[in-house]
A and B are shown apart, each in its own frame.
Chain A
């Protein structure tokens, strides 16, 4: 069975500062990893995904994530955040077919001016 741990429940950061949202996973099989963003009162939007290949994955809105198999991590980064990035971010892992997403508890990113 897969599981996901998001190490920070909330991350406050000033506008234009860099940010890293941490995600660790556990799985007995090869997995696919995802980051989703949920803006207030909205559904989830896919930010980026890791399926295979390059361990550095670039997504939408300037976000990127790095897959580290030895540390079983998939941390999300952005070099300079905007107020509009304020949202909740979920890391997720899927089974070997890309189905049955298991989500972490979420990290609320609060960008302050």
Chain B
């Protein structure tokens, strides 16, 4: 298994500002993911963060709004840029454990609860 921590656990931000969320894994993993969970809703994949290459974004999410870094095999950051109240959500990172291209288990961090005022 993998233990994942996120910082900050919660934050209240003003519109127009940016927040960077950090995700740390206790072991080296090939693939990390960022999800958004809007109030009362399920999780939606934002992007896949691959070490050594640019993140792959899902439909509806763009790099200018959600830039992602993946400097090594245990760490990733997600920035929520130019925030608006609609960005108020829980942001979760996950790490996939598996073999080669096959990653059969994703472990999730505790999430970052973001409120934009």
Contacts and interface: CB of A to CB of B under 8 A. Distances in A.
Nearest to B101: A97
Contacts of B58: 100
Main secondary structure of the interface of B (DSSP, over half): strand
A42 interface: yes
B98 interface: yes
B108 interface: yes
Contacts of A90: 42-43
Contacts of B103: 97-99
Interface residues of B, number: 25
Contacts of A46: 105-107
B48 to A, nearest CB: 7
Nearest to A51: B104
Contacts of B96: 98-99
B67 interface: no
B41 A43 contact: no
B116 interface: no
A99 B31 contact: yes
A8 to B, nearest CB: 14
A101 interface: yes
Nearest to A45: B108
A87 interface: no
A51 B106 CA distance: 13
Nearest to A44: B108
B45 interface: yes
A98 B104 contact: yes
Nearest to A101: B106
| Residue among A32, A34, A99, A102 with the highest chain B CB neighbour number at 10 A | A99
Given A99-B96, A99-B103, A103-B44, 20 more contacts: A43-B4, A43-B110, A44-B43, A44-B92, A46-B107, A49-B104, A97-B101, A98-B96, A98-B98, A98-B103, A98-B104, A98-B106, A99-B31, A100-B45, A100-B58, A101-B33, A101-B94, A101-B106, A103-B42, A105-B41
